[in-house]
Amino acid sequence: MSKDVKDYLHLLDKPLDESSAPEARNSALGEDALWHILYSLGRDNTHPSKHKCYWGLVLAVRDRMLEKWATLQRQYYTNDDKRLYYLSLEFLPGKFLRSNLLALGLENEAHEFLREQGFSLDEIIDQECEPGLGNGGLGRLASCYMDSMATLGLPAYGYGIRYSYGLFRQEIRNGHQVEQPDNWLHEGNHWLIPRPYGQYPIRFYGKVHEWLDDDGILRHDWRGGDLVMAMANDVFVPGYRNGHVNCIRLWEARPHKEFVLSSFNAGDYIGSVQEKISDENISMVLYPSDDAPEGKTLRLKQQYFFVAATMRDLIRRFKKLNKPWDQLSEKNVVQLNETHPAIAIPELMRVLVDEELLGWEEAWCICQKLFAYTNHTILPEALETWTVSLMEKLLPRHMQIIYEINRRFLEGVRLHFRDEPELPSRVSLISDDPEPKVRMSHLAIVGSFSINGVSALHTQILRDRVFHDFIRIFPERFNNKTNGVTPRRWLRQCNVSLSWLLSEHLGCGWVTDLNQVEHLRELADVDEFRHDWEQCRLTNKKRLADYIEKMNGITVNPHSIFDVQVKRFHEYKRQLLNILHVITLYNSIRKNPEVKMQPRTFIFGGKAAPSYWMAKDIIYLINAVARRINSDPNTRNFLKVVFLANYNVSLAQLLVPATDVSEQISTAGYEASGTGNMKFALNGALTIGTRDGANIEIGERVGDPNIYLFGLCEQEVLDMKKRGYDPWDIYKNDSELREVLDMINSDQFTPGNPTAFSGIFNSLLSGGDRFMVLADYRAYVETHKRIAHEYVDRDLWIKKSIMNTAGMGFFSSDRAVQEYIDGIWHVKPDV
C-alpha cells in the first residue's frame, strides 16, 4: 500500500525485523547494561540518565564482541589460518553504537531496554563522540573495508594510530574556518580496550654500529637515540550477523620514561615531564602541519612508529607457530593503504637481517611476497617523499637499507634496459634533486608483489603516466580494484525508511548481497512504488531541513532541489566551480524576476587543511555568497546556500539520504576514485560529475540517461594544457562568467573589502587556472539547466533515482574486498 511521509517517520527509530540475528547471550542486553552502570562505571543504576544508558550499552555490547573475538583468535591458531594485516594511517569509522547493534542483531533488545528507561535510541546515540581517527575518503574507505572483511569472515587486523585529538573540529566564524581541538577522548572511550602490557619500544635517531660476525658477515646494530613505547588499543569490528569479530589495533605513543624525579627535585618541573610530552606528541594529532621542519619530523615519526609496532605484532604472532621464516609470507599478507605505511618494508628488512640474522636475499624475497600496495594518489606533489637528510637523522639504519634496496634494484634495471640510460634516474628510490629525497611510492612498488589503483580510470592513468616506467619493469604487479562502500552503514543504517521499502519488496538479503538491488529496475515503472520512493526521500529531506534550521538558523524548502557537495576542500575538487554557478543563478534570478525557477538549496561541507589558504579562502567565499543570497528578499524563496560546519560521518549519514543532486566535479584525471559518489547514488541521488574517478563506472552501471556527466575528459585536459590554455580567453568571451568573476573581485560579497577574494580571482586568470575551472564552467552551467528542467517531471526524476540505486550493486565494499581476496590476498574466510 502506498504511504505518505508521516507513515515513514515512525520507522526512523525502529529496527528492521531481520531473521538472521545470531543467538543471544543468556542475560538480556538491558540487564547487562544496568549491571555495568553499577559495577563498571560505579554509578547508581536505579534511574539511569541518557549518559549512563549509553555507557552501559557500550560495555554490554563490547562484552558480546569480546567473547566472539577471543574465540576467533584461538581458532586462527588452531586452523593455522593465513592472516591479513591492513595498515592505514587513518580510519574514519563513525559512531559505533548503532552499527554494532545492527551487526550483532541487538537493535530490538536495545530499543526495548531504552523504552523502559524512557529514551529513544537516537537520544542515546547523541551521547557518543565521533571518533577522531581519520579525515576523508582514505579513512572512510579503510573503515568500509574493515566492515566487509568482518562480514566476509576474514582473519584480518586493521592497524593505525589512536590519535588523541584527530584532525580538528571545524567552526565557522564570520565566514572563516577556525580550527579547534577535536577532544573526542575527553570522557575516555569504552569501545577501546587499552593493552598496557607488552608495549613495544620504538627507536628514533641513534647510530648504526657495524661489525663482522664469526663467519665474517657484516652485521648492523641500531643503538642509542630515543625510545618511545607503543601501546595497543583495540576496537572491535563485528561482521554482519555472522558471529565474526575482527579488531582495529590503534597504537598510542607512551613515554619510555614517565617522569624524571631528579629534575623535579632540582626544581625543573617542566623538564621532569618534557620527555613524556615529546613522546606522546607522536599520537596526538592526525596530519600535523608540515610547514615547519618539526612538523615534517613528527609526520615521519608517526608513520614509522605505527608500522614498527605493527611489524613487531605480526612477528610475535608468527613466532608462536614455530614455522621457518620462509613461511612468513605464506601465513601473512600486509596491505599498505597508500604510501604512509611504506616505511614498513625497510623496517621488516631491518628486523629480518639485523635481529633475526637472515641473509639479504632471503629477507628481501620474504618482503616482496608479503607486501601489497594500494595507490590513491594521482597528483605528483601528493606522492610522498622524505628528504634523505631527515631520514638519515631520524631512521639511520632504514636509510642504509633503502640505499641497498635501491642499488640492487637499479643494477637490475640497467641490466635489462641497457639502451635507456635515463630510466634508472626516473625509477630510482632516491631523487636526484639538489636536496635528494626518498620516493616512498617507488619504495612501495619495488617492495610489493601487487600494486593496485582504485578505479578503472585511475589505474589506467597509473599505467600511462604516473608509473609508466614501472609498468614496463613489473607488468605483472599492477591491477585495478575499484573502491566500494559498505551497504550496512551507507544504506541500511543511514536510510531507514528506504531500507524498509527495499526489504518490503526485495527481502533483507540485499544487506549482504547488494547485487539484489538490480531487481529495483523492475519496479521503476510501478506508480505505487515510485510514490513510496518519493515519500522516503521527502522524509529524509525534512529531517535534513530540520537540522539545517537548528544548526544554521536557515529555513530551507524540502521540496527544493537539494544539491550537495561535501568533501575535503581542495582546488581540484572544484567547490569553486560550484559556487561560481550559484552566483550565476543568483544573477539570473535578480535580472529575470518574472521567470519561474525550480527552488534550489545548495549545501556545502568539508574541511580545509589548516595551512591550505586557497581552500580556506574558498570556504570564506561560499559563506560570503550564502550570507548575501540568503538575506536577499528577491531571491531567497528560490535560492538558498548552506555551509554545514564540521563535516563528519554522522553528518554524512544525514546528508546522503536527503540529497537530490550529488556534486562530483573534480578536474578530470585528478580524482583517483571517490566513494562519496557511490554513497549518494546508492541512496538515489543523481550525480552531476566529470568523467573522473569512479564516476565513469557509475555511469556505465546506472545508465547514461541517469547521470549528468559534463566537461573535459582526462585526455582533453592534457591536450588543452599542451596546446596552451589561456583562461583570459574564456573570461573575455563569456559575459555571464565575466560578471561573476568581477563580482568576486569586488566588494559585492564583502562590503568595504574589495580584495578579500583577489587571490581566488588571480589564481583563475593570472595563475593559469590549473584545475580548469573556467574551461568547464559553461558545460557545467548548461548541465545544471538540464537538471532543473528534468527535476520538474517528478515521474521521470524518481525513475532516474530508482535506477541509480538499482545500478549500485557493483559498488559494495563486499565486492571490492572479495576482489582483493581473489586477486591479491588469497586469505580464506573462517565463516
Catalytic residue among 68, 82, 442, 567: 567
Cβ burial 231-256 (10 Å sphere, 16+ → b, else e): bbbbbbbbbbbbbbbbbbbbbbbbbe
What Å distances lie between residue 536 and 182, 532, 663, 678, 809, CA to CA? 34, 6, 21, 19, 20
Residue 573 is among the residues annotated as catalytic for this protein: yes
What Å distances lie between residue 3 and 20, 135, 797, CA to CA? 27, 39, 19
Residue 198, sorted as left (phi over 0), alpha (psi -120 to 50) or beta, turns out to be left
Q: Which residues contact 778 (CB under 8 A, 6 or more apart)?
A: 730, 734, 737
Catalytic residue among 169, 249, 376, 541: 376
Instruction: State residue 291 phi and psi, 5-degree precision.
Output: -65, -35
Residue 675 is among the residues annotated as catalytic for this protein: yes
What is d(CA 67, CA 83) in angstroms, rounded to the nearest whole number?
20
What is d(CA 643, CA 627) in angstroms, rounded to the nearest whole number?
10
Query: Cell numbers of 712, please?
Result: 573535459
Helix (H, G, I), strand (E, B) or coil at 241: coil
Residue 484, sorted as left (phi over 0), alpha (psi -120 to 50) or beta, turns out to be beta
Residue 567 is among the residues annotated as catalytic for this protein: yes
**SS3 of 702-731:** HCHHHCEECCCCHHHHHHHHHHCCCHHHHH
How many of the other CB atoms lie within 10 Å of CB of 381?
Answer: 7
For the chain, what is the largest distance between any 2 Cα atoms, rounded to a whole number of angstroms?
A: 94
Residue 301 is among the residues annotated as catalytic for this protein: no
What is d(CA 37, CA 693) in angstroms, rounded to the nearest whole number?
48
What is d(CA 467, CA 690) in angstroms, rounded to the nearest whole number?
23
Instruction: State residue 8 phi and psi, 5-degree precision.
Output: -95, -20
Question: DSSP assignment of 184-198, as one string?
Answer: TTTT--TT-EEEEEE
380-381-385 Cα angle (round to 5): 105
What is d(CA 522, CA 285) in angstroms, rounded to the nearest whole number?
49
What is d(CA 26, CA 33) in angstroms, rounded to the nearest whole number?
14
Catalytic residue among 140, 458, 573, 800: 573
What is d(CA 685, CA 717) in angstroms, rounded to the nearest whole number?
27
Helix (H, G, I), strand (E, B) or coil at 334: strand
Tell me the CA end-to-end span of the chain in Å, nearest whole number: 38
Q: What is the DSSP letter of 21?
A: P
Of 546, 633, 641, residue with least CA distance to 600:
641
What is d(CA 408, CA 367) in angstroms, rounded to the nearest whole number?
15
Q: Which residues contact 234 (CB under 8 A, 6 or more apart)?
A: 192, 193, 195, 247, 248, 249, 250
Catalytic residue among 190, 299, 568, 640: 568
Cβ burial 451-487 (10 Å sphere, 16+ → b, else e): bbbbbbbbbebbbeebbebbbebbeebbebbbbbbbb
- Calculate the CA 406 to chain-centre distance: 32
Sequence-ordered strand ranges (E) for 44-122: 83-87
What is d(CA 688, CA 578) in angstroms, rounded to the nearest whole number?
11
* Inter-axis angle of helices 50-79 and 97-104, nearest 10: 50
Catalytic residue among 162, 299, 442, 679: 679
Residue 679 is among the residues annotated as catalytic for this protein: yes
Residue numbers annotated as active site = 376, 567-568, 573, 675, 679
